[in-house]
């Protein structure tokens, strides 16, 4: 039996366009003796967008996910900072507003026959590693030390009260602590919790690209050779739209971008060939 067990909520992107996150999550969970219990049929968290049209619908969907985890007696673990921030906000809203909770529970019971009681917690991978697994355990499991300067990107949604675990809301340090435990050099930069504007990418691409460039430029200016993201959605901006961000800002902000679970899995000895490719990218793009 695994030492640590969680109800696993990967998020939509992890199961679709960012399968590398799922692969890495399964690999690091195996190495660190973490059991990820699937929440079969769990719906999208709303990604901070659904509530603009129908917050009650989003609350009902997330309450259903919470109730599924409660039925297993488990906290929810996600590798996505957007999911963490969005679902934590809904969890707090439902637990603090009894009348709203009853309204949503009436809908849940009528449709699914379950209720949300508020006995579980929302946890991001980063918080689980620091608070539950322990960075000493992580460090002892490292097979391929990350021997270059890494900028950790938290994003904005996870950095709110009730969503960031026991980390500091305004000046988080968990990512930096984790990077050190993996053998990397920490890059301290001001924009690590600044939004890259993913929700506005389709409607206001220019603004989103400039926000992305600002984060990348700050990290690169402080000596980062790579940026690791705790959010698969933000990663799309930081990686896929990097060239466009450079053009939009008229500056060279290009650098290798990687998902947090990938960085961990690589350091723990999984996917050695992919880590070797990453080292090459860091060497070439960082020169």
Q: Considering 98, 124, 150, which residue would you say is the last residue of a domain?
A: 124
d(CA 276, CA 282): 10
Same domain? 165 vs 95: no
E-only strand ranges, 39-148: 76-78, 122-124
Same domain? 271 vs 205: yes
| C-alpha pair distances (Å), 255 with each of 138, 177, 226, 243 | 26, 22, 6, 10
Which H or E element spans position 218?
helix 205-221
Which H or E element spans position 35?
strand 34-38
Q: Which of 163, 132, 145, 90 is nearest to 264 (CA)?
A: 145
* 246 inside domain: yes
* 15 inside domain: yes
Same domain? 94 vs 20: yes
Same domain? 105 vs 207: no
* 129 inside domain: no
Same domain? 170 vs 116: no
Same domain? 205 vs 260: yes
Instruction: Give the pLDDT score at 66.
Output: 98
d(CA 143, CA 157): 32
Please give the residue range of the domain that contains residue 258: 135-285
Q: Considering 85, 102, 124, which residue would you say is the last residue of a domain?
A: 124
Same domain? 102 vs 216: no
Instruction: Give the pLDDT score at 262.
Output: 95
b/e code 230-262 from CB counts within 10 Å (16+ = b): bbbbbbbbbbebbebbbebbeeebebbbbbbbb
* 231 inside domain: yes
Same domain? 264 vs 220: yes
Query: What CATH number did the domain enclosing 16 receive?
Result: 1.20.1050.140
Query: What CATH number did the domain enclosing 252 receive?
Result: 3.40.50.11810
Same domain? 185 vs 262: yes
* 130 inside domain: no
What are the average pLDDT values for consecutive 10-residue runs of the chain, which has 287 residues?
89 86 95 97 85 87 97 97 96 97 95 93 98 98 95 95 95 98 97 88 83 96 97 93 90 93 95 77 66
Same domain? 111 vs 167: no
* 255 inside domain: yes
* 62 inside domain: yes
Instruction: Give the pLDDT score at 286.
Output: 60
The pTM of this model reads 0.93
* 140 inside domain: yes
Same domain? 104 vs 144: no
Instruction: Give the pLDDT score at 287.
Output: 55
Instruction: Give the pLDDT score at 76.
Output: 98
Same domain? 220 vs 105: no
Q: Considering 68, 89, 124, which residue would you say is the last residue of a domain?
A: 124
Count: domains in the chain: 2
């Amino acid at each position: 039996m695994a030492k640590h067990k969680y109800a696993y909520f990967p998020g939509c992107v992890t199961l679709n366009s960012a399968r590398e996150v799922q692969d890495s999550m399964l690999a690091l969970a195996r190495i660190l003796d973490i059991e990820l219990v699937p929440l079969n049929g769990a719906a999208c968290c709303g990604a901070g967008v659904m509530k603009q049209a129908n917050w009650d619908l989003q609350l009902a969907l997330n309450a259903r996910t919470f109730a599924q985890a409660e039925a297993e007696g488990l906290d929810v673990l996600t590798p996505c900072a957007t999911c963490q921030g969005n679902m934590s906000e809904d969890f707090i809203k439902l637990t603090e507003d009894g009348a709203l909770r009853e309204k949503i529970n009436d809908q849940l019971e009528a449709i699914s026959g379950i209720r949300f009681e508020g006995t579980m917690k929302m946890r991001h991978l980063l918080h689980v590693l620091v608070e539950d697994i322990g960075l000493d355990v992580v460090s002892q499991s490292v097979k391929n030390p990350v021997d270059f300067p890494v900028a950790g990107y938290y994003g904005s949604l996870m950095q709110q009260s009730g969503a960031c675990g026991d980390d500091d809301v305004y000046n988080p340090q968990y990512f930096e602590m984790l990077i050190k435990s993996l053998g990397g050099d920490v890059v301290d930069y001001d924009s690590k919790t600044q939004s890259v504007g993913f929700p506005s990418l389709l409607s206001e691409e220019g603004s989103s690209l400039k926000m992305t460039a600002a984060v990348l430029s700050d990290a690169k200016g402080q000596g980062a050779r790579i940026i690791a993201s705790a959010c698969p959605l933000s990663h799309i901006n930081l990686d896929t739209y990097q060239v466009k961000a450079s053009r939009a800002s008229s500056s060279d902000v290009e650098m290798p971008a990687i998902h947090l679970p990938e960085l961990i899995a690589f350091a723990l000895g999984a996917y050695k060939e992919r880590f070797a490719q990453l080292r090459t990218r860091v060497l070439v793009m960082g020169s």
